[in-house]
Structure formats: C-alpha cells, structure tokens
Amino acid sequence: MAGKYSPRSRSPIFLLTILSLLALCVLIFLFSISSRTRPPGLYSTRSSETSFVASLEYFLAQRVPKFNSDDTVRAPEDEVAVRDLDDSMYRIESERVHGDPYYPLGAPIRVYVYEMPSKFTYDLLWLFWNTYRDTSNLTSNGSPVHRLIEQHSVDYWLWADLIAPESERLLKSVVRVGRQEEADLFYIPFFTTISFFLLEKQQCKALYREALKWVMDQPAWKRSGGRDHILPVHHPWSFKSVRKFMKNAIWLLPDMDSTGNWYKPGQVFLEKDLILPYVPNVDLCDARCASESYSKRSSLLFFRGRLKRNAGGKIRAKLVAELNGAEGVVIEEGTAGEGGKAAAQNGMRKSIFCLSPAGDTPSSARLFDAIVSGCIPVIVSDELELPFEGILDYRKIALFVSSGDALQPGWLLTFLKSVSPAHIKEMQQNLAKYSRHFLYSSPAQPLGPEDLVWRMMAGKLVNIKLHTRRSQRVVKESRSLCTCDCKSSNFTGPVMTYGGQHFMKCKFVSNVGPNPSPQSRSSGVI
C-alpha cells in the first residue's frame, strides 16, 4: 500500500546513517592520534614537562642549530659599530619613554639572545644527552655528575623558553627581540656547568676562553661593559677561570656565598645578580599527595645527604652529633643518585620538618626538595640568600634557625616541638601553594621560576641602565672612580654590613696626578 511505513524501505537510510556515524568516529580517532604524534605547533596541546631529561629529548628533536660546531662568528670590532648600536638603542628608548607615560612599568623585559656557535650550546647539550646514562661518572664526594648538572640546569630552562616560537610560549613577562637595538638585556646561552663537568680540564678552560672572547667582541658588550648581559653560572665551580673578566654582567647564581670561598670580593652582590633555585631532585607532592600525606608524616625531623662538607657545611657534622638517635629524628647518609632520590622523597613525605643546613655553599638543593615535598624546611645557614625574595615571603613556608641556637644541646628539638599544630598545617598549606615557584618546566609556566626571573629582572632594569649610562660618561679623572678592588692589600677600614652584604671601606683617589690634593680625595663604601 502506497505511503504505508515499511521497515525494509528505510533500511538503506538506516545503514547509511550508521556508516556515517562510524566514519565520523574513525575521523575523530585519527585526528586525536595525529594531534599527539605530529610535531607540536602550540605548547597548549602539550602537558607541562618538568623532567630535564624528557624536556631535553623533545628539545633536541625539535631544534636545529643555526651554526655548526666549527663555525666562528666575528663581530665588528671598530668603535663605529658600538656607537651606532648605542645611538639606535637610545633612539628606540626615547621613543618608548615619550610615547608611553607608564613605560617601563608593566612592560615586558625585551631580551636579545645571542646566537653563539653550537660548540657553546647544542654540542654541550648533545654531550650530556649521549652520556647521562653513565652511572660511573661521580664527583669527588660521590655525587652523580649528570644529576648534579640537572640540579644546576637553569641555563637550559631559560634558554629553551626564550628561543621557542612565540606561539609556543606562555610567559608575558619577557619577549625575545630579533634586533639588538630593541633589547633591554642580552642573554649569553653558554652551558658553563655541562662544560665544566663533562669536558677534560684543559679543554674546558680553552672553551671558556673562547666563549669569553666571543662575547667580549660583541658591540653590545663593549657598549655597556657587560652590565646588561645575563650570564648563567649556577654551579659555583663553573666558569671560574675566566669569570673575573665578566664581573659586570648579571650572574645567575645558587647563592651569594659571602664567605669568599667561591666568589671573589666585588664579583657578586644582590643589587647586580640574581639567585635562582636548584632544580628539585624529587617529584612534586601535589595537592592530592599533600592531603593524603598529612596523617602519614610520622617523623618529626628528616635529613638525608652528605654528612661531611667543606666551608660553611661543616655545621652538618655538628648537627648530626647533636640530633643523632633522638626520638622522631631520621638522619641518613646518601647522595643524589636514583636510589638516593627515592629514599629522600620517601623520607621527606613522611616527615613534618626537613633539616636544611648549609652545604659547601650556604644553599643546597635539599631546601627545594623539601618545599616540593610538602616538608617544612628548617634552615640552618646563617649566610643564605634565597631566590626571588623580593616576591616570595619564605617565613610563610620555612623556619629559620641560627647555627648558634641549633647547636645548643636540646634546643632545636624543643623549638620544633613547640610549633603549634595550627601553625604546622598553615605552613603545609602554604608549601602546596608555593611549590609552583620552584618547578622548572617546558613550556615555562606563569609564576614558575623562569617567570619570576624576569619579574625580578624588571626590578633591576632601571638600575642597570643607570650604571650603563653612567659608565659611558664618567671621565678617568673623576673622583668617583675607586682605584682599588677592596683587596687585602689596599683595605683601609673595617668590614661594614649593609642589607646582609659585607663591604670594605676603601679610599676613592683621583687619577689627576701622583700627589692628589685633599680636595681630590673622598672615602666611601663600595
């Protein structure tokens, strides 16, 4: 009967509909697979990677060096190139100042990244990659060399973010510029720590000298004397043989080490340089982990590491002698290898407080391991300077104890037991919030350590420009030029302390002649 419903008459349409839906499902599946395997165009499609090795693997697969290892780049050495660059930078700066009444407040830092020959950059990264599985390569104190390099890999994380395509970057505090005259700062992408640990000694020193000459030949360096150049020297042994020639540059450091064991007087100070955190050696204890671990933190105080250290780290042995065997205290000898990582991570997640004494330098990676583990750091390091302290308040997440108090019999444990449960819980909650500030990642995350580097740099920028311009106009005969480097041979007064830094009082002497008049002398603190 015409017009009457017939299931058989609708079956071709039904089958066609089913086939269409299946085809759509297949297309969606194939698209999802391809989006996971294709070379990423946007970092928003990738999860954040905090493992140095995993991030480096992706980086080396995606980035092709512009220079071969045997290439050399010769910059113009005549004064005309320096003057032309200075004129161009002044013109652009003037346009910004007059065009934006709020400049430079709120403006992102503009960084020019040098394209150095690959022997200073990619070749060293490949050297690490090809050898990092070597477990026999140890430092003199038994720490795995490659793990030590990872802890100080701030040069990699910053550089990888800076040279990534803008479409893949998340940070708004810094932009990379393609022309030197547009730059506020210049980044030197030389892997000083990898070269120190993985090259033969003389080969390393030769490479240091080559890098030094390459950078100092650049017109931008000559223009400012290096004052607006950023040099990552995060391991205190790295670049040591030549860094005295680059003391005007902004150094990225693990701490200041005012003891003088690692840096010479006048080389490092807070106004010029920047403290960056070590890369944590343990995994992040995220919000879920932190919540689950509250009831499992059965130990009062935990420490794992090398018990005998040099310089300021000698306090470790004294603390161990004082605390060893006490109830609720766990002290273990160990290094940063894979087994050490698991043991440290397990111990920190089971403890309320983590002891963080000085190492060979005032700081150690242990502090940042404790922070990302949700274990409240107990810092016993009188000379310690902390990363990003202009932004972060460490009193919210750590306890600070003087070495004198800590070594008094029974004092430290009595102090820790007096901290109220409410205060402990508040600090643990703050640790969960603060952890993001100490996790290097690819892509670099807002409010991560890479981002805080540039936020801190923004606070230094006006002062950097001040000293650069002042150095360009001060004449040799000026009374404001100090003729001494505050070494012991020309030390003329007591050590003075200002803002936690130690200064020596020196004579400012004019260069007018061999017998300057009293009017040409003045004394001050440098």
Which residues 6+ apart lie within 8 Å of 239 measured at CB?
Answer: 192, 196, 208, 231, 233, 246
Same domain, 314 and 212: no
Is pLDDT above 90 for 44?
Answer: no
- H helix runs in 294-359, sequence order: 315-323, 338-349
pLDDT band at residue 474 under the 50/70/90 scheme:
confident
Tell me, yes or no, whether 106 and 224 share the same domain: yes
Helical residues (DSSP H) of 41-78, grouped into ranges: 52-62
Give 18 or 86, the one with higher predicted confidence.
86
Give the whole-number percent of the chain exceeding pLDDT 70. 76
Residue 93's pLDDT is: 84
pLDDT band at 101 (very low <50, low <70, confident <90, very high): confident
Whether residue 394 has pLDDT greater than 90: yes
Beta-bridge partners for 495: 504
Neighbours of 311 (CB within 10 A): 17
pLDDT for residue 520 is more than 80: no
Full-model pTM: 0.80
Do residues 237 and 270 lie in contact, with contact meaning Cβ atoms separated by under 8 Å? Answer: no
Q: What is the pLDDT of residue 16?
A: 64
Q: Which of 250, 275, 300 is the last residue of a domain?
A: 275
**Shared-domain flag, residues 76 and 165:** yes
Is 448 part of a structural domain of the chain? no
> What's residue 8's pLDDT?
47
Does residue 173 share a domain with residue 263? yes
Question: Who has greater pLDDT, 494 or 447?
Answer: 447
Q: What is the Cα–Cα distance from 526 to 504, expressed in whole angstroms?
A: 7
pLDDT of amino acid 141: 64
- Domain membership flag for residue 467: no
At residue 493, does pLDDT exceed 70? Answer: no
Q: Are residues 187 and 70 in the same domain?
A: yes
pLDDT average, residue stretch 283-302: 90
| Among 221, 251, 275, residue at a domain's last position | 275
pLDDT at 360: 72
The domain tally of the chain equals 2
* In a domain? residue 491: no
Q: What's the pLDDT at 309?
A: 61
For residue 419 the two structure tokens come to 């901290």
**Residues 303 and 240 occupy one common structural domain:** no
pLDDT > 90? residue 119: yes
Shared domain for 196 and 242, answered yes or no, is yes
Q: Quote the mean pLDDT of the chain.
A: 81
- Whether 309 and 268 map to the same domain: the answer is no
Task: Single out the residue in 391, 424, 439 at which a domain terminates.
Answer: 439
Residue 157 binned pLDDT confidence (cut-offs 50, 70, 90):
very high
* Nearest CA among 205, 184, 204 for reference residue 195: 204
Do residue 297 and residue 187 come from a single domain? no
Locate 369 and state its tokens.
């391991």
Instruction: Compute the average pLDDT of residues 307-336.
Output: 78
CATH number at residue 320: 3.40.50.2000
Query: 225 and 335 share a domain?
Result: no
pLDDT one-digit tens code per residue, 506-517:
443 333 333 333
Flag whether 8 is in a domain.
Answer: no
- What percent of the chain shows pLDDT beyond 90? 52
| Among 151, 437, 431, residue whose Cα is nearest residue 305 | 151
Query: Is the pLDDT higher at 234 or at 68?
Result: 234
pLDDT in the model for residue 444: 97
Same domain, 368 and 266: no
**Residue 500: what pLDDT?**
40
Predicted confidence at residue 78, as pLDDT, reads 76
Tell me, yes or no, whether 24 lies in a domain: no
pLDDT value for 34: 43
Residue 174 domain-assigned (yes or no): yes
Tell whether the torsion through CA atoms of 501, 506, 510 and 511 is positive or negative: negative
Residue range 18-39, pLDDT digits in tens: 666 666 665 555 544 444 333 3
In a domain, 31, yes or no: no
The 8-class DSSP code of residue 524 comes to E
Q: Looking at the structure, do residues 346 and 257 belong to the same domain, yes or no?
A: no
Question: Could you give the CA distance from residue 231 to residue 228 in angstroms, rounded to a whole number?
Answer: 10
Give the β-pairing of 109-113 and 185-187: parallel
CB 397 within 8 A of CB 377: yes
Identify the pLDDT of residue 358: 81
Confidence of residue 86 (pLDDT cuts 50, 70, 90): confident
Q: State the pLDDT at residue 72.
A: 44
- Per-residue pLDDT of 174-226, as tens digits, reads 999 999 999 999 999 999 999 999 999 999 999 999 999 999 999 999 999 99
In a domain, 112, yes or no: yes
Residue count of the chain, please give it: 526
User: Which pLDDT value is given to residue 138?
Assistant: 78
Q: Pick from 5-14, 71-80, 461-470, 487-496 the range whose average pLDDT is largest.
A: 461-470
Q: How much is the pLDDT for 298?
A: 93
Q: Which domain holds residue 423?
A: 287-439
Mind listing the pLDDT tens digit for each residue in 340-350? 889 999 999 99
**pLDDT tens column, 255-264:** 987 666 788 8
pLDDT of residue 433 exceeding 70, the answer is yes
> Which band of pLDDT confidence, cut at 50, 70 and 90, is reported for residue 457?
very high
